[in-house]
Amino acid sequence: MQLKSMRTFLSILLVVSSLHSFSQNQIFGKAKNWRLYKVEGNKAFNCPVDSLKAMESILLDIDSVNIFLKSAISWPKEKYSLWMGSWLASFEDENGNLHKIDISMYGGFFYDELLKIYYQVSEEHKKEWLQFINYNYEGFSSL
């Protein structure tokens, strides 16, 4: 009887986890206007959301962003107590809400300030994600 209860518990946990992951991917899958701003480090954290529209930014390729974030998962805040640099990005959700995103320059994770959720890019895409963001950030110097 105890084994059956454990299997039931694990089955429920798997379903809830899958639904949570699916809803996250739905958020990113319906996101539009991903922007990267010409600001980094502590300035990125201190920048108010309502000032983003007036800041210099570039539009990120939505197909590339979707590939990277398709398998992103949320992580507990305790995992990311150490930030060693960040980029500032944003996107609009399907309801037109602007999400300010702090992207770690090293860890392959980012923070959605509106939802107050940390996300981790999959290990498979982490290196390419960081290269993609860095490449686009360096593009500011050519503008």
Q: pLDDT tens digit string along 39-80?
A: 888 888 889 999 999 999 999 999 999 999 998 988 876 665
Residue 26 structural domain: 2-142
How confident is the model at residue 119, as a pLDDT?
92
Interval 97-112: pLDDT, tens: 999 999 999 888 899 9
Please say if the pLDDT value at position 12 is more than 50. Answer: no
Quote the number of domains for the chain. 1
Segments of 93-143 assigned E as strands: 98-104, 109-112, 117-120
Which has more pLDDT, 18 or 106? Answer: 106
- Positive or negative, the CA dihedral 15, 20, 24, 30 is positive
CA torsion 26→85→88→73, rounded to 10°?
Answer: 0
In the structure, what pLDDT confidence band is assigned to residue 6 with cuts at 50, 70 and 90?
Answer: very low
Q: What is the edge-to-edge ordering of all strands in the sheet holding 57-59?
A: 57-59, 32-40, 86-92, 98-104, 109-112, 117-120, 73-75
Interval 21-44: pLDDT, tens: 434 456 888 899 999 999 888 888
Please say if the pLDDT value at position 138 is more than 60. Answer: yes
Q: How far is CA 14 from CA 17, 117, 130, in A?
A: 5, 20, 30
Predicted model pTM = 0.77
- Mean pLDDT, residues 16-23 taken together: 40
Which has more pLDDT, 5 or 68? Answer: 68
- Mean pLDDT, residues 67-96 taken together: 84
